[in-house]
Homo-oligomer: A and B are copies of this chain.
Amino acid sequence: MEHSECSCEQCQLRTIFFSHIVETQLNNICSLKRETTFEIGDSITKENTPIREFMYIKKGLVKLSKTAPDGKDQIISFAKPFDFVSLLSIFSESKYQYSVTAIQRTTVCKLDLRIIKEFACKNALFAMDLITAVSKASDSIILENLTIRRKNLKGRVAHLLLYFSTHIFRSNTFILPISRREIAEYIGMTTENVIRTLSEFKKDNIIKSEGKEITITNMKRLQSVSEFG
């Protein structure tokens, strides 16, 4: 974890997320921000710790997870910049319900949550922007979970590969930022069966893979497996 600075003037989030905050107030907010960079595997927030900050991802990739009573992790979702993942329970709970962990080098901008709440209490349009963001973030998690639940093992693995290929990397070739075990924790299957499925995709020439490097060689086939599997 390291601290760095990046100019607020060029921040794209500024126009998207704070569009209803006037310039003078915004500069005020920006002057209070703390920017932090997390390395792969670094914990950004931990479940059951108090929520004190409002955070957004400027760069990188994170996973959202929760540890079950038996010690096993469940991955809830992944988030990239503009996904505003830290919105999830910050307005309903005083403690994090989920952990957030960097799965790529990730830069996060933090603001004191009290300041954000104060602003929201005074600026209704900003509050409305927050509602929309919260609503979108939760909606996509709920929908994605439903989608995964109705697929079988192969369909789920195919779905995950397509998710990273189209949503995250926008390329047929990419470095999987997560381990086989993490895939399993996300799709709700065992590590062994995830590996078996990937091997099978490889044997059937649907993908090429070497370690974490994946190339989708037969996109149509993979899509069909995801849809009907």
The answer to whether B124 and A122 touch across the interface, beta carbons within 8 angstroms, is: yes
- Copies of this protein chain in the complex: 2
A93 to chain B: closest residue by CB = B139
In the complex, A114 has a CB within 8 A of chain B: no
Residues of chain B contacted by A121 (CB below 8 angstroms): 124-125, 128
**A131→B74 contact, CB < 8 A:** no
Q: How far is the CA of A143 from the CA of B96 in the complex (A)?
A: 12
On whether the beta carbons of B135 and A91 are closer than 8 Å, the reply is: yes
Tell me which residues across on chain B come within 8 A of A132, comparing CB atoms: 91-92
Query: Could you tell me the distance between the alpha carbons of A150 and B149 in the complex, rounded to whole angstroms?
Result: 12
Given A68-B150, A149-B188, A150-B72: A131 and B142 interface contact (C-beta under 8 Å) = no
A contact face: mostly helix, strand, loop, or mixed: helix
Q: Does A26 contact B (CB under 8 A)?
A: no
Quick check: A136 and B74 within 8 Å, CB to CB? no
A180 interface residue per 8 A CB criterion: no
Given contacts A122-B124, A138-B142, list 15 more A-B pairs with CB under 8 A. Answer: A66-B146, A70-B150, A74-B150, A88-B139, A88-B142, A90-B135, A91-B135, A93-B139, A121-B125, A121-B128, A123-B124, A124-B124, A127-B130, A134-B134, A142-B145
A interface residues with partner B (beta carbon < 8 Å): 66, 68, 70, 72, 74, 76, 87-93, 97, 117, 120-128, 130-132, 134-136, 138-139, 141-143, 145-146, 149-150, 188
